Structure 1
């Protein structure tokens, strides 16, 4: 997410291609949230109630957040190569704080369209921002500190699922925010709430691991060796996912449910926990992501050139797509006969629980939204490449 785009364009475009691909897929999930008839009333990953297409529509977007955060760490490493340790640390600290502010002020409003900010939503940008702050501190110590800490967090954070939560409310809240948040709502007053949907430290682990793998992309590192490393680690990561899923003891807060139905068992096998991201979830998503990086390093065609445009300006795209989708939601809301009495909903204004369309319509809206964002993203990519204003480093 945070790469120095000029540096990457001279080096490895596979990073921007992968990032762009997950940004495109990510918009599908948010389009489903806004426009699918069952988005507010059902769980698309529940094998008991879902369909194959609905399950896939939600499941494929599981790859977005881990890859997004992982590449943020990788890009932070690359960006640090042009700075002193102190400069790199300072930049990460400032950018982390800035991202948290953007999550609260800009992203929350894009999601809710509620000017009173009754419900502040903390999601992936919050997780990236807080993780960057920790990365800015840990990277001052050493590269090994970051990598080892990241591996400990990724492989060990599910240990907290084996013990009861602290009895006192403050200790339980801290544990949820840092390790186990899965939709934790913190009341600020009778009418104002904060929804913490991304526990900090599991995502910090993902970012730290991405930072560690960034060393494979530094100048002078052999491309063949990098691709071999990515291939081996990617396959091992997938093996970890399959093994833990079959053993069904550790690596996910909810043990895999077994059915007397083959199709439901297949769905249950891949229905791992994202909130917070379990070890099985991280392994399931990052393994294929690393294989993708290995196999696309020298790939160039029309599709990859298009996806790399989105990947070069992911934050710009991320903010813009929420405002585009929510504005379109308002148009459709009134066009389908809904009244002003139905505007106020929690947490999304203009989004009644019974509103929405079938999946084919959702896919059509998604494709149109992604296509509409291409030219703005291409313009901003070119602008960043030809301008040097300080604020461009933060977008």
Structure 2
């Protein structure tokens, strides 16, 4: 199977056509995602603290997940009408897939690695096969966020209401973080909403819900736009203005607003939202009138199949721990592992699509 060419973007292109920009943007984010995941799981201390490791963290730690879910929110309104029931079924599927992935990429390979002596509990720290299952990762968040956004869109159909909701989420979230009851089962549910990294909640709904809510408004206005270049140019200035608001707020109390990239304060949420608009403007300029080439087509292919790629790269990284151990690789080996994971994930996507197409043909 080959990567198909994509249609260039034109400035006057109707906005209800699928834009190369967003597939390309997600393709770039996929590269950064793999780099930081491999660095965190395979790189030794010197690698993570090196210039290469520090650069990867600077480019990927804060932005990637935030901009991924911003684009997810954008597609809710940009990609056309979808029934509420269909959307909620997809949200449930993403949520369940998150826990299935936890077992397949984390619990099983970690248990086997411990049994065969490939890693030690000391190397893993507080992580165990059980804690791996209960981790709240981006797929669980995506399922919850998609359901919330669809319900907000259904009940409050005006974009201004979505932006107001995003502001409420942004500024109210810190006051409800770490809400708990002392009852383990209830608290396991609450951490999906308000939890922190120490509880295994990498992406709690609050404040992360703010990004897709703003993305919905962006997608709505983009769909109504008749001139792509003009729309994205305005987005650049709006994004720059939002950053200019967010950064001073962040500077007033950096310890509060930048306490964790997994649960940022209002200043960083605002700054990253503005950054998403600037990033998408840059991607639009890079793909405008772009004749198809292998690099752009490759990134767009990854972007169109982002969920499949995400699952496969995590399976490779999780099971790869049995081969290379946890945080054991020096810099050259870690960089090589990044390239290997990207390449194998690509071929894994191709294989999955081939199997899926054959299965669809048999059902038909």
Query: Where on the TM-score scale, by shorter chain, does this alignment land: which range?
Result: 0.7 to 0.9
For 1:158, the equivalent position in structure 2 comes to 174
For 1:341, the equivalent position in structure 2 comes to none
TM-score (norm 2): 0.76
Aligned-partner Cα distance in 2 for 1:110–1:218: 37
For 2:283, the equivalent position in structure 1 comes to 296
For 2:119, the equivalent position in structure 1 comes to none
**Higher mean Cα deviation, 169-178 or 65-74?**
169-178
For 1:281, the equivalent position in structure 2 comes to 268
Root-mean-square deviation over aligned CA pairs: 3.6
For 1:102, the equivalent position in structure 2 comes to 97
Residues 145-178 of structure 1, C-alpha deviation per residue, up to 9 Å, x if partnerless? 33321232124423457xxx66853599489626
**SS of the counterpart of 1:274?**
coil
Residues 175-221 of structure 1, C-alpha deviation per residue, up to 9 Å, x if partnerless? 96265422253xxxxxxxxx333211312221111111111331553
Does the 8 Å contact 1:92/1:135 carry over to 2?
A: no
For 1:265, the equivalent position in structure 2 comes to none
Aligned-partner Cα distance in 2 for 1:293–1:199: 25
Residues 101-140 of structure 1, C-alpha deviation per residue, up to 9 Å, x if partnerless? 1111124421333598622221111111111111222111
Alignment partner of 1:92 is 2:87? yes
Aligned-partner Cα distance in 2 for 1:379–1:114: 22
| Unmatched tracts of structure 2, length 5 or more | 1-5, 8-13, 112-128
Seen in structure 2, the aligned counterparts of structure 1 residues 154 and 92 have a Cα distance that, compared at 3 Å, is: farther
Aligned-partner Cα distance in 2 for 1:364–1:318: 19
For 1:149, the equivalent position in structure 2 comes to 165
Aligned-partner Cα distance in 2 for 1:132–1:356: 37
Does the 8 Å contact 2:312/2:349 carry over to 1?
A: no
Seen in structure 2, the aligned counterparts of structure 1 residues 385 and 239 have a Cα distance that, compared at 3 Å, is: farther
For 2:126, the equivalent position in structure 1 comes to none
Seen in structure 2, the aligned counterparts of structure 1 residues 281 and 381 have a Cα distance that, compared at 3 Å, is: farther
Match of 2:130 among 108, 118, 122: 118
Q: From the two aligned structures, give the one with the greater helix fraction.
A: 2
Does the 8 Å contact 1:73/1:210 carry over to 2?
A: yes
Aligned-partner Cα distance in 2 for 1:246–1:14: 32
For 1:310, the equivalent position in structure 2 comes to 302
Does the 8 Å contact 2:169/2:207 carry over to 1?
A: yes
Does the 8 Å contact 1:157/1:179 carry over to 2?
A: no
Aligned-partner Cα distance in 2 for 1:9–1:324: 36
Residues 223-274 of structure 1, C-alpha deviation per residue, up to 9 Å, x if partnerless? 13321331122102221232123322xxx6x348xxxxxxxxxxxxxx6522
For 1:133, the equivalent position in structure 2 comes to 147
**SS of the counterpart of 1:198?**
coil
Does the 8 Å contact 1:154/1:206 carry over to 2?
A: no
